Amino acid sequence: MKISILFKTGFFCFFLLACSSYLTTAENISKTKQSYNKILVVGRSKDNTARVKFENSVVEQLQQNGVSAMASYSLDGAKDITKKYSEDQTAQFKKKLMSDGVDGVIVTNLINTEQYTDVIPGNSSTSYVPARVGRFGRYLAYYPVTTWEPDQLKTGTKYVFESSFYHLKDDPGDNLQWIGRFELKDPSSIQKTAENYAEELVTALLKESIGTAE
């Protein structure tokens, strides 16, 4: 997979808020871990608000861990990330990035949106109720009363994202280093989701692919 494919696809919405853990699968394609001079963060979205919040969140997470990074939304050549890039445009953009000291790129794409149905198992509870026997009104015994709650079905929308990390170098061959898939259910808050996604993404990258200076 080459960097030239990064700018040829787009998606129509970005993510909001979902479950507490988003990362479902990850693979260190290169089988190596190394340090980078500067990393460019790209969130491919037509929603500029979501893009800015996401890119800033990832940049902040990287910088907090000692990794130099920058967002793409204000960078010439990447402001309109949803347009179709030619091979020549991509090559020129890559050359400019490398001349500016960028040697790593993180790209996040929405790859699928689907409806889901989760089954929430029902539960049972038992309480002991005193029984009144005879005329005297005395509580002589307690008997159990059990109630059952039926299973419930929860439906909603699941968004599947893919984040890829590339190493920019003169070699024109494949430069994919790491790839991870993230699933988000029932979005509701852009800011919180951007922060949670960024934290999980950067944590995984630092563990498996990106080294930090000692």
- The pLDDT of 135-140, averaged and rounded, is 48
Find out whether 105 and 96 touch, Cβ atoms under 8 Å: no
Count of positions (residues) in the chain: 214
- The pLDDT of 182-186, averaged and rounded, is 89
pLDDT given at position 4:
45
Measured distance CA(192)–CA(141) in Å, rounded: 54
User: Which CATH class name applies to 3-116+156-211?
Assistant: alpha beta
- The pLDDT of 44-51, averaged and rounded, is 89
pLDDT given at position 12:
36
